[in-house]
Structure 1
Amino acid sequence: MKLHLLDRSSISNSSFTTKVNDYPYFLKIWHYHPELELVIILKSEGTCFIGDCIEKFQIGDVVLIGKDLPHMWLNDDEYFNKNSNQTAKAIAIHFKQDYLGNAFFETPEMIHLLELFNRAKYGLKFLNIEKKLIKEIEKMLELKGFDKTIAFLTILNKLSKHKQTKKLASQGFVNSFKPSDNDTQYKIQSYIFKNFNKDITLEKAAKIAHMNTSAFSRYFKRVNRKTFSKYVTEIRIGFACKLLIENKYNIAAICYESGFKNISNFNRQFKLIMDCTPSEYQKNRKIQT
């Protein structure tokens, strides 16, 4: 899965860009950009990849993605069927952290927004957002100039005060990722994300990094603060959680779809990471829903 640098700079007379993406499905591009991105899902469901986080996305989701944080929105399989009448629609707002000047967000009145931007470096999901706020965001798209800027600041202010949020990417991923085509860690993470639910080996990853296995193991643990096997297992469990929420497969199928070889190991690893069994996790999510 190649990582792409996308140009999100404004081509209009504006300090930030607003766009409604309305397609049969979202583009399958694993990418990053120097702008922060506020995403509001208006239609469709699927899987979002944000840093090393993999989870389900659905209508009404609001996510703030920090600068240079790799991400991708992948719709469910039915969206890619030739005769599908499904559509994917989302609002995307791109802006640089200093889009209103270098010192604007460092003033006492705006420091809480700067703190919001800093929290977004991991990817920040806002839970249980009221429909009223989403309507305000949609209405902002119709504004121009000063009115649009004030409306956006008001929305950021409300998001900064929203209590229910979820951090998405891990600290290890954010600390280790460098957006460079020649960066060793980037090549390793690309290999992991492309193959986590297939056969994936320490030896192959070490070969990609041009290291022997012992040196690579030490390097990976130092950079990511966990072993290679634990890192891959956590990615697989994250994907399994997404499949459990969707409830399209039984637990045995989810085990193999997530890259595990047998049910007993899948159940054991799931319990270690999630502190519950796959069936308990699925049951609890149904109750929450």
Structure 2
Amino acid sequence: MKALEISLIKDSNQSFTFYHEKNPFSRWHYHPEYELVLIHKGTGKRMVGDSIDRFDEGDLVFVGSNLPHEWLCDDHFFSPPAQFAGEGIVIQFTENFLGDKFFKLHENKRLRKMLDSSTQGCMLTGKTKETITELMLKMISMDAEDRFYTLFTIFRLLSKTKEYTLLASPNFTVSFQADGGNSIRKVIEYIMQHFHEKIQMKKMLELANMSSTTFSVYFKKTYNMTFQEYVLKVRIGYACSLLTDNNLSIAQIALQAGFDNLSNFNRLFKKVKGNTPKEFRKKALENERFDDYYV
């Protein structure tokens, strides 16, 4: 599925967009606006750049300009089909919505750094997440003026926080934005949508419009790894997120992450991570530090 360029409709009398989303969330897409996304109701699969993870209610992510993303709710949030039980709150703003110089001011140096970090997607955590979540929920019932000044409070919190995790890899961000919608970009979009399926090299060459040799050289130069290593990285990364939850068996996780059999999954997981999926899950569920296990 091709990433679409989608922006929310902004009222003509407002400088930024505040939207209370009660319809199905947009599929794999990007837009020039920066975006703060709060999932108020919903669980499912979150994709930000080349990061694939599970999300729960309360998920709060700051998404940079033109970074592809998608929150795909689990099936039971679409039952019955005519209804959608998910709910999100979204703030969008452009680079220059307060003028060309606002984010370049010396006083905004730390906020500028946060905007730069958001090109990889920032998953907010801790007290920062709690405070911004509370503010965004209150914004639902505010008028336009109060929302405007509340956004400055959020900016202040973003400028001071260290409570966030970067999601997409730097290589993805640079190559996706530089590629201009052509060649390898189409391949990455396909991987993110179909990593759980068998991926045929013939299809990749068609999308990239390259020969096998050219594709291999170009891909490795762009991402500092082979195509096969990249697909494995995405699949293992998603498997890691599933392993931190005890609801699925390791065999089920292997299937959902795109591995054709359990023994192959166990072998490749240990090769990449240095321990077995069972060992990884044990450490995660014991609440030990497992940040370094993620791709």
Q: Provide TM-score, normalisation by structure 1.
A: 0.90
Give the aligned residue type for 1:111.
Answer: K
Pair 1:86–1:280, CA change in 2 (3 A): farther
Query: What secondary structure, in the 3-state scheme, does the structure 2 residue paired with 1:284 have?
Result: helix
**Structure 1, unpaired ranges of 5+:** none
Give the aligned residue type for 2:18.
Answer: T
Question: Mean Cα displacement is larger for which, 62-71 or 145-154?
Answer: 145-154
Offset of residue 28 of structure 1? 5.1
Residue 242 (structure 2) pairs with residue 253 (structure 1): no
> 1:33 aligns to what?
31
Query: What secondary structure, in the 3-state scheme, does the structure 2 residue paired with 1:54 have?
Result: strand
How do residues 3-152 of structure 1 correspond to structure 2 at under 5 angstroms? 3-23=3-23, 26-27=24-25, 29-82=27-80, 87-129=85-127, 131-152=130-151
Offset of residue 170 of structure 1? 0.9
> 1:193 aligns to what?
192
Give the aligned residue type for 2:8.
Answer: R
**Structure 2, unpaired ranges of 5+:** 289-295
Query: What secondary structure, in the 3-state scheme, does the structure 2 residue paired with 1:197 have?
Result: coil
CA RMSD of aligned residues (A): 2.4
* Aligned mates of 2:9, 2:272 — CA distance in 1: 39
Question: Mean Cα displacement is larger for which, 159-168 or 76-85?
Answer: 76-85
> 1:172 aligns to what?
171
Deviation track 1:263-285 (CA, whole Å, cap 9, x = no partner) reads 33322332344443212332333
* Aligned mates of 2:216, 2:262 — CA distance in 1: 27
Percent of aligned pairs sharing the same letter = 36
Pair 1:86–1:6, CA change in 2 (3 A): closer
Offset of residue 72 of structure 1? 0.7
* Aligned mates of 1:182, 1:65 — CA distance in 2: 19
Give the aligned residue type for 2:121.
Answer: G
Question: Mean Cα displacement is larger for which, 74-83 or 191-200?
Answer: 74-83
Question: Mean Cα displacement is larger for which, 26-35 or 66-75?
Answer: 26-35
* Aligned mates of 2:148, 2:86 — CA distance in 1: 27
Query: What secondary structure, in the 3-state scheme, does the structure 2 residue paired with 1:259 have?
Result: coil
* Aligned mates of 2:272, 2:9 — CA distance in 1: 39
- 8 A Cα contact 1:56 1:242, kept in partner: yes
Deviation track 1:227-263 (CA, whole Å, cap 9, x = no partner) reads 1001100111122123323434311222122222333
* Aligned mates of 1:39, 1:282 — CA distance in 2: 28
* Aligned mates of 2:104, 2:198 — CA distance in 1: 48
Pair 1:83–1:96, CA change in 2 (3 A): closer
Pair 1:261–1:187, CA change in 2 (3 A): same
Question: Mean Cα displacement is larger for which, 226-235 or 79-88?
Answer: 79-88
Give the aligned residue type for 2:285.
Answer: K
- 8 A Cα contact 1:97 1:117, kept in partner: no
Residue 197 (structure 2) pairs with residue 214 (structure 1): no
- 8 A Cα contact 1:22 1:90, kept in partner: yes
> 2:291 aligns to what?
none
> 1:262 aligns to what?
261
Offset of residue 224 of structure 1? 1.7
* Aligned mates of 2:179, 2:226 — CA distance in 1: 23
Query: What secondary structure, in the 3-state scheme, does the structure 1 residue paired with 2:216 have?
Result: helix
- 8 A Cα contact 1:79 1:87, kept in partner: yes
Offset of residue 46 of structure 1? 0.7
Deviation track 1:158-204 (CA, whole Å, cap 9, x = no partner) reads 12322221111111111111488851122111221232111113333
Pair 1:174–1:87, CA change in 2 (3 A): same
Query: What secondary structure, in the 3-state scheme, does the structure 1 residue paired with 2:37 have?
Result: strand
* Aligned mates of 1:84, 1:276 — CA distance in 2: 44
Query: What secondary structure, in the 3-state scheme, does the structure 1 residue paired with 2:32 have?
Result: coil
* Aligned mates of 1:97, 1:230 — CA distance in 2: 35
Give the aligned residue type for 2:79.
Answer: N
Question: Mean Cα displacement is larger for which, 238-247 or 179-188?
Answer: 179-188
Pair 1:13–1:284, CA change in 2 (3 A): farther
Give the aligned residue type for 2:286.
Answer: I
Question: Mean Cα displacement is larger for which, 83-92 or 156-165?
Answer: 83-92
Length, aligned pairs only: 287
Offset of residue 112 of structure 1? 1.1
